[in-house]
Amino acid sequence: MLIGVISDTHIPDRASKIPENVMKIFEGVDIILHAGDLTEPHIKEDLETLAPTYCVQGNMDRAYGHKLPKSKVIEIEGVRLGLNHGEVYPRGDTQQLKYIAMELDVEVLITGHTHWAFVKQVGDLLLLNPGSPTVPRLSDPTVMLLEIDNGEIDAQIVKIGNPICKALNFPGTE
């Protein structure tokens, strides 16, 4: 199964739309997982034009009053995946993310919140973060492709090019 993973789109508060490159990268995926901070509910609908999409609540989603679950657990080919925004401080702290994974009883935890992508193995736990396609922090804009085949997991961070950022208006953005 091929899974598109995305987080921290921040539309329309920090970006105007999902970059077209993301839509191209996600063509042909079986499902899409969004790890929070959509900030606009129609983002789920936009992604669902490509594949069934599951989303969890990020800190900014709460600020806008959106009602999404805080966490979601999905089992694919015998692998338990947890989806959670990962609001821990400092951002990306693996020990605190491990506790979230333990609470969810998952082998793989997908989070966002950092705005930078990572793949980290912590004991038996695989921590994944797709970064942000629109407002990355000290990194390139990214999403992730996750392939699960017979219980084997392959995670690929995919750079998507320039972000579409209203607030910063860098050259090459809209």
pLDDT value, residue 13: 84
Are the CB atoms for 41 and 116 separated by under 8 Å? no
pLDDT at residue 15, as a whole number: 87
Report whether pLDDT(68) > 80: yes
Cα gap 145→125, rounded to integer Å: 18
Domain extents for the chain?
2-159
Summarised one tens digit per residue, pLDDT across range 142-172 is 999 999 999 999 999 999 975 444 444 334 4
Confidence tier at 65 by pLDDT (50, 70, 90): confident
> What secondary structure letter does DSSP report for 146?
E
pTM summary value: 0.91
Higher local confidence (pLDDT), 170 or 69: 69
Give CA torsion, residues 133, 48, 100, 138, to 10 deg. Answer: 0
**The domain over range 2-159 is classified in CATH as 3.30.930.10:** no
Average pLDDT over the chain, rounded to an integer: 91
Whether the per-residue pLDDT at 63 is higher than 90: the answer is no
Closest CA to 12 of 34, 39, 36: 39
Counting residues of the chain whose pLDDT is more than 70, the rounded percentage is 93
Residue 171: what pLDDT? 41
Can you spell out the DSSP letters for 13-34?
TT-SS--HHHHHHTTT-SEEEE
Average pLDDT of the segment spanning 88-97 = 94
DSSP 39-85: -STHHHHHHHTTS-EEE---HHHHHTT----SEEEEEETTEEEEEE-
Unique residue bearing structure tokens 């990020």: 58
Going by C-beta distance under 8 Å and a sequence separation of 6 or more, which residues neighbour residue 20?
none
- Kindly state the percentage of the chain with pLDDT values over 90: 80
Q: Which residue has the tokens 């209203």?
A: 166
Dihedral pair phi/psi, residue 72, rounded to 5°: -145, 140
Instruction: Quick: pLDDT tens for 18-53.
Output: 999 999 999 999 999 999 999 988 899 999 999 999
At 59, the amino acid letter reads: N
Closest CA to 114 of 15, 19, 10, 8: 8
pLDDT at residue 127 greater than cutoff 60: yes
Q: What is the pLDDT of residue 168?
A: 41
For residues 37 and 112, the answer to whether their CB atoms sit within 8 Å is yes
Residue 4 pLDDT grade (very low, low, confident, very high; cuts 50, 70, 90): very high
In one-letter notation, the amino acid at residue 166 is K
